[in-house]
Structure 1
């Protein structure tokens, strides 16, 4: 679990006082920041760079890659003699996942792709802080950092992955485009659905999942009088609780299939989950119906026809990526999942999208 978290409007301004006790002599803090803030001088000034701190703007247009992690680590090691005091990620799920992975790879040898899997990391990461600027992915709380590698899309899932400190400031999500707000919000909703309907469910994950689910229902379907300010705070809490729920259980069908979409087509995670979930009535009938109501309420367009012109080889790669995520299928469908989710069934589902 993340050991330290602060929450509240304006809490981002506590960043310097949080980092100062962690500073080591001559060792900088490295800030990985979504490049959407590049021209926002007021926001950049709030980061309050000191001494030889380094700020790196990163585009979140594409899903994070193991090669990208390796390149950032290489540049940091070439520029600084000292190991950084810490890594701070400011942005959405892409930036937060990159931050966690860079922190790990600064203390572990080889490529980030060597650690894609469960509990492969052996050495503690450098101190790392997460500051989400969009809510829903749960990346701020999860023990995984999802990366696309040379042969698969899979997380670095370990006890050393979670942030040492998280700052949850709902004000940082002001101005997020509606579609992006919806897609990442639905990522949270789908986390809850897959956790609460999974075979790995336990009292701990259920308590977090139910709270996040209720918050999502309130935000996206039930409470017409919810102010934007209240909605921002509640969605940030839903994201946190949803991430905690899957940390102690697992996700399911939508996430397994969206990994295949992302690997082959580069589809962003949130929208990929929405594209898949839209066709999963067989597995989550009640919640897919609710999802469709949410889509209609906010007049959101779910892309269609993505897989209609794919080659047989591309479809097979999607299927291979999805089927490799065994814990997700075990959680969703039980020990006999392979008799339920055959290659042919997966192919037919993908061809609907």
Structure 2
């Protein structure tokens, strides 16, 4: 069975395009109480961007911190219940922030129309009803969450996305001005998420001409960005590279780095893009050329990733991480092949974590 995925319906790109958001939302404000829910990274609270939100009197604005942990199923369920209890079903959800905020907005849109806990929908095509209209406005580039059909959530048992065609945003607003203030280290970590997406997409069994075309162009843009540095021109290129990298993995798959990253994030709460960088630094066995280039770019930007982290982890912690990573068969199938279970073991994964 070939993949048949839905794309984002509409995308506006360009400097200053954020100011069109109010006009984009206006036709959706229909009915007796056509209110919108804005989910905004808490980083922007009290900053100029917060004052530019096209929020009307009855809209709800949530400033959500993603510094402490990535989105959780409990967080989404609680937010959904509060919104429905106080004002009923909104006309739309707008996510403004990085990958975690994108995932919160996508998941919230779905859970506003689907009953029960989001834990029961972690997986492929488990959602029963389409969500409400939702818009993504990325303020940091690299995760590809703006175009992916997955809203990744950490639950009590697993870290796994709500994945279906209804997860995909109805509208994107890609304004390169919004990513200009990203700190240099996180600019690198999130940008390298795109780079890693493409390396893994290309080096696996599900790679195809369609996914390759996006990965090839995304990698070309990444190289232009990271051999130069952060400036207005490279901000535009990174924003497009992120989108193309996300499309590449959608039509292919991610691999070893992301599987291990899920284990690190689920058990220790390590933020996704940073976890990917920590792990990619030690995967020469799987992606020799990609890891060599990754290390060159890290050195160029004076990014010093810590070593010896595993010395602080006991065997029980490492075993838990290995089990989370092992239980992602779609990633291992892509990276290793149909017979991946003959090559990937819990003990082998524990050895990989001990490299960190």
Report the alpha carbon displacement of residue 316 of structure 1 after superposing the two structures with TM: 1.4
> 2:249 maps to what in 1?
246
CA distance in 2, matches of 1:280, 1:192: 15
- Are 2:153 and 1:150 aligned? no
Equivalences, count: 348
> 1:64 maps to what in 2?
71
Report the alpha carbon displacement of residue 51 of structure 1 after superposing the two structures with TM: 3.4
Report the alpha carbon displacement of residue 220 of structure 1 after superposing the two structures with TM: 1.2
Report the alpha carbon displacement of residue 204 of structure 1 after superposing the two structures with TM: 1.2
In structure 2, stretches of 5+ residues that fail to align are 1-6
Report the alpha carbon displacement of residue 122 of structure 1 after superposing the two structures with TM: 1.6
CA distance in 2, matches of 1:227, 1:301: 18
> In angstroms, what is the RMSD of aligned CA positions?
1.0
The residue correspondences of 1:1-353 to structure 2 (distance < 5 A) are: 1-25=7-31, 26-40=33-47, 42-61=48-67, 62-81=69-88, 83-221=89-227, 224=228, 228-353=231-356
In structure 1, stretches of 5+ residues that fail to align are none
TM-score (norm 1): 0.97
**8 A Cα contact 2:284 2:291, kept in partner:** yes
CA distance in 1, matches of 2:132, 2:309: 40
Which sits farther off after the overlay, 42-51 or 9-18? 42-51
Find the residue that maps to 1:30 and give its secondary structure.
strand
Runs of 4+ that moved beyond 4 A: none
Report the alpha carbon displacement of residue 177 of structure 1 after superposing the two structures with TM: 0.5
Report the alpha carbon displacement of residue 303 of structure 1 after superposing the two structures with TM: 2.4
Find the residue that maps to 2:108 and give its secondary structure.
helix
Taking a change above 3 Å as real, the CA distance of residues 305 and 320 of structure 1, as seen in their structure-2 partners, is same
TM-score (norm 2): 0.96
Find the residue that maps to 1:308 and give its secondary structure.
helix
CA distance in 2, matches of 1:176, 1:79: 35
Find the residue that maps to 1:160 and give its secondary structure.
helix
**8 A Cα contact 2:28 2:34, kept in partner:** no
